[in-house]
Structure 1
Amino acid sequence: MQTFFFIAAALSYAVCAVLPSRQGAWITAATGVAWLLHGVTLGVDLIAPGSVRIGFSAMLSSALWVSVGAYWLENRNFALDGLRRLVMPSAAAVLLLAWAFPGSQVLLEGKSSMFGWHIAVAILAYSTLTIAAFHAVLMALQESRLHTRGERMGFLGAALDQLPALLTMEKLLFRMIGFGFGLLSLTVLSGIVFSEQLFGKALNWDHKSVFTLLSWLLFAALLAGRRFRGWRGKTALSFTLAGFATLALAYVGSRFVLEVVLHRGLA
């Protein structure tokens, strides 16, 4: 049954990715079906009585589920068809990755009730900043498109031409970054202040903690630079992608090495 949900959700995302842009109603409906199937997949695969499954693919799958939901909502107000071309194939690929690398079960017995909240907020933060990274990539492509109007870019060029103006895209980007930064701040704060209650030991400054804090600093610098120095354009995009890459290394990258390369369980 789990395999059915994985395949059905991945195929639904693939259909969403290839539908012509003019099929707006079908795209909305297909996105909704794919998103709901993905949600069922997460519920069936990750959550069990007294335990939760954690791993690099589980984190990616959760992040893309939230990202698709955010795209679905924002697309009602803005034409974000170019974002669909990035998010949908990525969501399909991540679902297959989650099926192939299921991660590890973590028992909740003996853990603080705050543990679940900490994990949930961390996933929301990672998810919000994931779609911000997708958004930043689109903006970079959109800006490049402005300088190459005479060149044919086929499928990609048509999708980029349907995006809102760069100023509108930038406004959406900083809205997502501001929200994601708030969630990331809660994640960092809870991890520092309540480390013993959450994990049963004092805060350990390992690679995950260091990379998470570095990501927080990068996003904090970006928002401060935007507020006081008017940062935008390539500077804003560079900070966004650097902050996201650092956050990805904090958990997904390290878990990938442990689970796939070293074949070790949750540590």
Structure 2
Amino acid sequence: MEISLKASFVFYAVAMAATLTGFLFSMPGKFRYSIFALFAGFLSSTYHIGARWYIAGRAPLSNQYESMVFLVWAFVGAYLLFWHFSAVEKAGKGHKHAAVPGRAIEWLAPWTALVAVLSLGGASFLESDISPLVPALQSNWLLIHVSTVMTGYGALLLSFLGAAVYSFMGKLKHDEKKISLESLVYRACLVGFWLLTLGIITGAVWANSAWGSYWSWDPKETWSLITWLYYAVAIHLRRTKGWKDKKFAGLMLWGFVLVMFTYFGVNYLMSGLHSYGRS
């Protein structure tokens, strides 16, 4: 693991430790310190991706290791953006303590850090050498398609994490925070869904230029479509049938199982046009 990525790992671990220490010693700024550490880890990962891009002369998105590092970067970035805009939104509504830690989204800070630590730890076991692109990936669509899909997965991971915390909060009396968190789960789902939509479209265009067909029913394509349809139905149920709160949270929990199978399972359990993604 390169030093910049090790730094990210340490910063994310610090984010977890800051929250844990805050709870043990009743420190009022526990979430604030966690978010500062998350931001530092995000900057370190940004440097890592940029440096690897410069050295390789291409977007670092060609294999499992590179895409996983980018996924963690997108996930933490999505969390920080939602955190920022939640503060702006609450301040705009005249909340006196809009910028004070304690908002529902800040409850996700240590869990976001935990997911980042585990993911980077897992990525460290993958092949990280920079190698030449296989012919199928020698295209400008590599950056457009893969970055869009990975960022969409990052938003859906945030939705999953929020749904998991929301489900735990179901036994607790935090009505205002639960409403705010459920809104975050839905908004992150929307962002992830539309990015996944764009990713499928750009993938089809790339497939046509590379293989002469927009759609080949390759396992990765098929499971991406299944995942897309699942989230489309979930959004439809929430908007038209009132599937909110626990029902929608449950949909997000199961939906991310599909995302993970599409991302990992297809790579390692099925062969197809996207088999190079497992390397």
Deviation of the 1:70 alpha carbon: 2.5
Is residue 2:185 matched to residue 1:173? yes
Question: In structure 2, what is the equivalent of residue 134 of structure 1?
Answer: 161
| Alignment check: 8 A CA contact 1:83 1:134 kept | yes
Deviation of the 1:3 alpha carbon: 2.5
Question: What is the aligned counterpart of 1:95 among 88, 103, 120?
Answer: 120
Counterparts of 1:36 and 1:244 in 2: how far apart (Å)?
26
Residues 42 and 234 (structure 1 numbering): CA distance in 2 closer, same or farther, change over 3 Å? same
Letter in 2 for 1:69: G
Q: For each residue in 1:238-260, what CA deviation from the matched residue of structure 2 results, as whole angstroms up to 9, or x when unmatched? A: 221222211221122333558xx
Letter in 2 for 1:107: L
What SS class does the counterpart of residue 246 from structure 1 fall into?
Answer: helix
User: Is 61-70 or 173-182 further displaced after alignment?
Assistant: 61-70
Q: For each residue in 1:131-182, what CA deviation from the matched residue of structure 2 results, as whole angstroms up to 9, or x when unmatched? A: 1111111111111335xxxxxxxxxxxxxx6x95222211121111111111
Deviation of the 1:122 alpha carbon: 1.0
| Alignment check: 8 A CA contact 1:54 1:106 kept | no
| Alignment check: 8 A CA contact 2:7 2:44 kept | yes
Letter in 2 for 1:83: L
Deviation of the 1:108 alpha carbon: 7.5
Which consecutive unaligned segments of at least 5 residues does structure 1 have? 147-160, 259-263
Aligned positions, number: 245
Counterparts of 1:194 and 1:250 in 2: how far apart (Å)?
19
Counterparts of 1:238 and 1:227 in 2: how far apart (Å)?
15
Question: In structure 2, what is the equivalent of residue 5 of structure 1?
Answer: 4
Question: In structure 2, what is the equivalent of residue 196 of structure 1?
Answer: 208
Which consecutive unaligned segments of at least 5 residues does structure 2 have? 88-102
Question: What is the aligned counterpart of 2:76 among 68, 86, 94?
Answer: 68
What SS class does the counterpart of residue 8 from structure 1 fall into?
Answer: helix
Counterparts of 1:46 and 1:90 in 2: how far apart (Å)?
24
Counterparts of 2:58 and 2:219 in 1: how far apart (Å)?
28
Letter in 1 for 2:49: L
Matches within 5 A, 1:43-54: 43-45=50-52, 48-50=56-58, 52-54=60-62
Residues 114 and 55 (structure 1 numbering): CA distance in 2 closer, same or farther, change over 3 Å? closer
| Alignment check: 8 A CA contact 1:215 1:246 kept | yes
Question: What is the aligned counterpart of 1:123 among 138, 150, 153?
Answer: 150
Letter in 2 for 1:175: R
Letter in 1 for 2:51: V
Letter in 1 for 2:5: F
| Alignment check: 8 A CA contact 1:59 1:252 kept | no
| Alignment check: 8 A CA contact 1:6 1:96 kept | no
How well do the aligned residues superpose, as a CA RMSD in angstroms?
2.7
Counterparts of 2:170 and 2:7 in 1: how far apart (Å)?
36
Question: In structure 1, what is the equivalent of residue 96 of structure 2?
Answer: none
Residues 44 and 253 (structure 1 numbering): CA distance in 2 closer, same or farther, change over 3 Å? farther
Deviation of the 1:113 alpha carbon: 2.5
Deviation of the 1:74 alpha carbon: 2.9
Matches within 5 A, 1:17-36: 17-19=16-18, 20=22, 22-23=28-29, 24-36=31-43
Residues 38 and 51 (structure 1 numbering): CA distance in 2 closer, same or farther, change over 3 Å? closer
Question: In structure 1, what is the equivalent of residue 194 of structure 2?
Answer: 182
What SS class does the counterpart of residue 85 from structure 1 fall into?
Answer: helix
Deviation of the 1:42 alpha carbon: 2.6
What SS class does the counterpart of residue 243 from structure 2 fall into?
Answer: coil
Counterparts of 2:176 and 2:69 in 1: how far apart (Å)?
27
